[in-house]
C-alpha cells in the first residue's frame, strides 16, 4: 500500500516550573533565594529524508509529543530542556494546518528542515524576582504550556521524468524495462493503484529518476477515478513521457484527453516539456498508428517516437531523447530554506461571559498567565491580582456585575472572586 497522505497531532513540550527555594547553609544566615528556572520545552521539527518514499509510519501512529522541560532546582540550577521531536518525512512532503489548510512547510529538497511548533518557556525561579525591596520573594512561575495542532501531510513525488497515459498504456511495463523498479505488471485493462519510482542509468554514468503515474481517465482533474490522488505527483516532475497505447481504438483522442486533464488540474502541467511515445509497435495496430500519429505530432510541434516496451525496440533511443529534454529544461528554483515557526499571536484581548453559574474569562494572554501561576502562595496571588488590574480585567469584571464569592473560570483553573 502506498501512503502519500497522513493527518497527525503534534504538541511541543511544556516548560519546566521555576522553583521557590532559599539557600540554607551552616554559618550562612539569611542565604537568600536560590530557586532555579525551569527548562524550555522541546520543539517540533520536520526534516526531509531522501531515503523515505512513503508516509506509512504516520498511519501506524498519529500522536506525537516533544519532551517537557525539567523543573528548576535549588542552588540556582536551571532544569534541563525538553527533548525536541524530529519527524522525518520523504522529500516532496507538503505540511498544512489541518484546520485552515494553510501551507506551513514545503520540503522539496533533501535535508530541508522546518521548525513548526516551539516549546514552552521555562518558568522563572524565585531568584529572578529578588530585588532591593523584596529580598526573599516567595514568587516563581510555572512553565509555559506547549503548543498543539493537527497537521496534514501530502507527498508529491520528486522525479525527473513522469510517465503519464491512460490505463493499460504500458507505463509500468516501460518503467520495469528501463529501471530496477518492479511494479506489479499484468495483462489487465485497469490501472495500477500506486506510483512507482525507478532510477534509469544511461551508459553507466548518467542517471535520471522516473516515475509512472497510474492511469488517468477523463474527469481526473475533477477527482473522477483516482485523478486527484495522482495528478499531484506530476507537479514535481520536470519532463513528461506521454505514453500512448498502440492497441487503443484511437490513441490521438487519448492524447488530447490526458492533456486536457493536466491543464484543468494545473495549467502549468500542460506547459511541461513532453515527449509523446507510441507504445506497442510490435502489434499490427501499433504499426498502423505510427505514421498517423507521427504526422499529427509534426503538425503540433511535439517531439515523438515509437517503441515497444515489451521487446525493447526504440526504448534506448527514447531515453536519450528524454535526457536531451531534461538537459534543456532549467532546474526548478530552489525553495528558500526559511525557518517556519508557528507562534501564538500576541493578543492581550479578552472576553467575559456567563458559564455554569459563574464567569468565563477567555484570552490568550491571561490564559497563559494563569497556566504559569502558582496559586499556592500569597505573593503569586498578589502578583496575579496586579496583572488582572493592569490588563483591565478587574474593572471589566466589576462592570459585568461580578460579586465576591462568584466562580471564575480561566483556562483550566476554577477561581473564586474576592475583594
State the pLDDT confidence band at 122, using cuts at 50, 70 and 90. very high
Is pLDDT at 261 greater than 80 in this prediction?
no
Tens digit of each residue's pLDDT (9 = 90 or more) over 333-358: 544 444 455 554 556 788 999 988 89
**What pLDDT is stored for residue 229 in this prediction?**
52
Average pLDDT, the chain: 82
Angle at which helices 284-300 and 251-265 cross, to 10°: 50
| Rounded Cα distance, 391 and 389, in Å | 6
Average of per-residue pLDDT across 13-18: 94
Is pLDDT at 186 greater than 50 in this prediction?
no
Q: Show the cell assigned to 330.
A: 532549467
Average of per-residue pLDDT across 24-35: 73
Superfamily holding 5-155: GTP1/OBG domain (2.70.210.12)
State the pLDDT confidence band at 221, using cuts at 50, 70 and 90. very low
Residue 241, beta-bridge partner list: 163, 275
Tens digit of each residue's pLDDT (9 = 90 or more) over 374-409: 888 888 888 888 889 888 999 999 888 888 889 999
Answer yes or no: are the C-beta atoms of 154 and 228 closer than 8 Å.
no
Tens digit of each residue's pLDDT (9 = 90 or more) over 124-161: 998 888 887 888 888 899 999 999 999 999 887 667 88
Nearest C-alpha neighbor of 147 from the set 278, 389, 343: 343
Domain boundaries, the chain: 5-155, 161-328, 351-416
For the 351-416 domain, the top CATH level (class) is: alpha beta
Out of 165-179, 303-317, 323-337, pick the least confident. 323-337
| Rounded Cα distance, 240 and 268, in Å | 12
- Helix (H) / strand (E) containing 380: helix 378-390
Answer yes or no: are the C-beta atoms of 401 and 390 closer than 8 Å.
no
| Rounded Cα distance, 295 and 252, in Å | 11
Q: In CATH, what is the architecture of 161-328?
A: 3-Layer(aba) Sandwich (3.40)
Phi-psi region for residue 225, left (φ > 0), alpha (ψ -120 to 50) or beta?
left
**What pLDDT is stored for residue 28 in this prediction?**
61
Residues in contact with 127: Cβ distance below 8 Å, sequence separation at least 6, in sequence order: 33, 34, 35, 36, 76
One-character DSSP codes across 214-275: PPP-TTGGGT-TTHHHHHHHHTT-SEEEEEEETTSS-HHHHHHHHHHHHHHH-HHHHTS-EE
Count the neighbouring beta carbons within 10 Å of the beta carbon of residue 350. Answer: 17
**What pLDDT is stored for residue 267 in this prediction?**
63
Q: Show the cell assigned to 72.
A: 528548576
The length of the chain, given as a count of residues: 419
Amino acid at each position: 500500500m502506498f501512503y502519500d497522505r497522513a493527518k497527525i497531532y503534534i504538541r511541543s513540550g511544556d516548560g519546566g516550573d521555576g522553583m521557590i527555594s532559599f539557600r540554607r547553609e551552616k554559618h550562612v544566615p539569611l542565604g537568600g533565594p536560590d530557586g532555579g528556572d525551569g527548562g524550555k520545552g522541546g520543539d517540533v521539527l520536520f526534516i526531509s529524508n531522501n531515503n523515505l518514499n512513503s508516509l506509512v509510519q504516520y498511519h501506524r501512529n498519529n500522536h506525537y509529543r516533544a519532551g517537557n522541560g525539567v523543573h528548576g532546582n535549588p542552588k540556582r540550577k536551571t532544569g534541563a530542556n525538553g527533548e525536541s521531536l524530529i519527524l522525518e518525512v520523504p522529500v516532496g512532503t507538503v505540511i498544512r494546518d489541518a484546520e485552515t489548510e494553510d501551507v506551513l512547510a514545503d520540503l522539496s529538497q533533501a535535508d530541508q528542515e522546518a521548525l513548526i511548533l516551539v516549546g514552552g518557556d521555562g518558568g522563572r525561579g524565585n531568584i529572578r524576582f529578588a530585588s532591593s525591596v523584596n529580598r526573599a520573594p516567595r514568587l516563581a512561575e510555572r512553565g509555559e504550556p506547549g503548543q498543539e495542532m493537527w497537521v496534514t501531510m501530502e507527498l508529491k513525488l520528486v522525479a525527473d521524468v513522469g510517465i503519464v497515459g491512460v490505463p493499460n498504456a504500458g507505463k509500468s511495463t516501460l518503467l520495469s524495462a528501463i529501471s530496477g523498479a518492479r511494479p506489479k505488471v499484468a495483462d489487465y485493462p485497469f490501472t495500477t493503484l500506486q506510483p512507482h519510482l525507478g532510477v534509469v542509468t544511461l551508459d553507466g554514468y548518467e542517471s535520471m529518476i522516473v516515475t509512472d503515474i497510474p492511469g488517468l481517465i477523463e474527469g481526473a482533474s475533477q477527482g473522477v477515478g483516482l485523478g486527484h490522488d495522482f495528478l499531484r505527483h506530476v507537479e514535481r516532475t520536470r519532463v513528461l513521457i506521454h505514453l500512448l497505447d498502440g492497441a487503443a481504438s484511437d490513441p490521438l483522442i487519448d492524447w488530447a484527453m490526458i492533456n486536457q486533464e493536466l491543464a484543468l488540474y494545473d495549467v502549468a502541467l500542460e506547459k511541461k516539456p513532453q515527449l509523446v511515445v507510441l507504445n506497442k509497435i510490435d502489434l499490427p495496430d501499433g504499426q498502423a498508428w505510427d505514421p498517423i500519429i507521427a504526422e499529427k505530432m509534426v503538425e503540433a510541434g511535439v517531439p515523438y517516437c515509437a517503441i515497444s516496451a515489451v521487446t525493447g525496440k526504440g526504448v534506448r533511443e527514447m531515453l536519450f531523447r528524454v535526457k536531451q529534454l531534461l538537459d534543456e529544461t532549467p532546474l526548478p528554483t530552489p525553495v528558500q530554506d526559511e525557518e517556519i515557526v508557528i507562534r501564538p499571536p500576541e493578543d492581550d484581548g479578552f472576553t467575559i461571559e456567563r458559564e455554569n453559574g459563574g464567569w468565563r474569562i477567555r484570552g490568550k494572554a491571561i490564559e497563559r498567565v494563569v497556566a504559569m501561576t502558582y496559586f499556592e502562595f500569597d505573593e503569586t496571588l498578589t502578583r496575579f491580582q496586579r496583572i488582572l488590574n493592569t490588563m483591565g480585567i478587574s474593572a471589566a469584571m466589576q462592570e459585568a456585575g461580578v460579586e465576591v464569592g462568584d466562580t471564575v473560570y480561566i483556562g483550566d483553573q476554577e477561581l473564586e472572586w474576592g475583594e
